[in-house]
Structure 1
């Protein structure tokens, strides 16, 4: 979500892609497919889904919120048709061990998932801050109209960025299979607004041009603490969801006021 928001878009298909990857990976593995082949197929399909999000949104100039939500629902519907509403299959032992809280990454008393996420975070930060792609992403989000003058192809950037977003969502879906143990189509639904909330709390602007991956990580930690605190105080999940929505509205409103003041000055 971070890359998409920096560019000036939004991706509401993330939870649907997570559920798609979770179900397809479990179903095909349960049918006897090689799991490496399954992961490759799921990743390729996710790239296509994300690419369509970016292509349709930018080339047809349609609000990405509508496009990504629509494509996400199409994906969910196709998965339901394929499984007849009853997905089956289970997680490979390797995936369960990779994410297991009781596992250890060599001498480290943490599962392999933790150091893998640290390496991934470092790579994303490097891409955003040290590569032409990262600079183009910020430039496109800051001033979309001037992108062609800077020799930036907006459609190409949107396709690449949304494809990356869908690919990482699919990876999350496969990894969550290690926690769920079996296929669960709604496994991604809690992340519909949590991904947006984390990005906004981390300092990104929903209008694009501002944000960082380290900020998103900080946003995730803050939201996790808020979630833990509210649950500890006895709040119901619905109240916690409402609190997250309030945080998003408040921060977006504050940033909108900041932009208005700076523009006026």
Structure 2
């Protein structure tokens, strides 16, 4: 079976600061699925003054769909000349496409599924290492019934597999599903997107579990806060106190 148990309890990852040249912009690759489609506009809005965000996300895709042998010109390997500073990996665990199927064409499951996502995660880290890029693995919030994301167990092990600070893990639970519990709505500040009379919807109406505006906003903000903690962006540059919300 795939060993997905960290030997330590998610120890704090050391910063790995990025030093940009004068006038240089941060180069980010954002890869993921339909949840990523929802957070992308907010992430780009927060970072837009300092970063270029290259899209490698689409609803229903798995991580393996974005390598050169599947994505052709959109493959991660073809970004080496662009030399990304950071890859943000936001896949929740889809197994809908051919690269996540077994020899009979059936979706991978169980240990084979976990091994595949682990192998693809390690493959991406290897691609990133060629250009000295950082990688942030993002764990999506729990679904209805408090179901974990399919990549939860793999992604949380990645910093320990690649110590040194260039590979990080972020749980979005605190922002969208605190305590690992599904949360439909939450109190909010009136300046936050989707906030009406002090309350806002975090997740789509039943039976769906996607994000509403407030949830997507808080999710994107959590990613930016992790960038700050990692030393990849300066807190003052992404300060939102004097900006009109989208």
TM-score, with length taken from structure 1: 0.29
- Please identify which structure carries the higher helix content: 1
Structure of greater Rg: 1
Structure possessing the higher relative contact order (Cα contacts under 8 Å, 6 or more residues apart)? 1
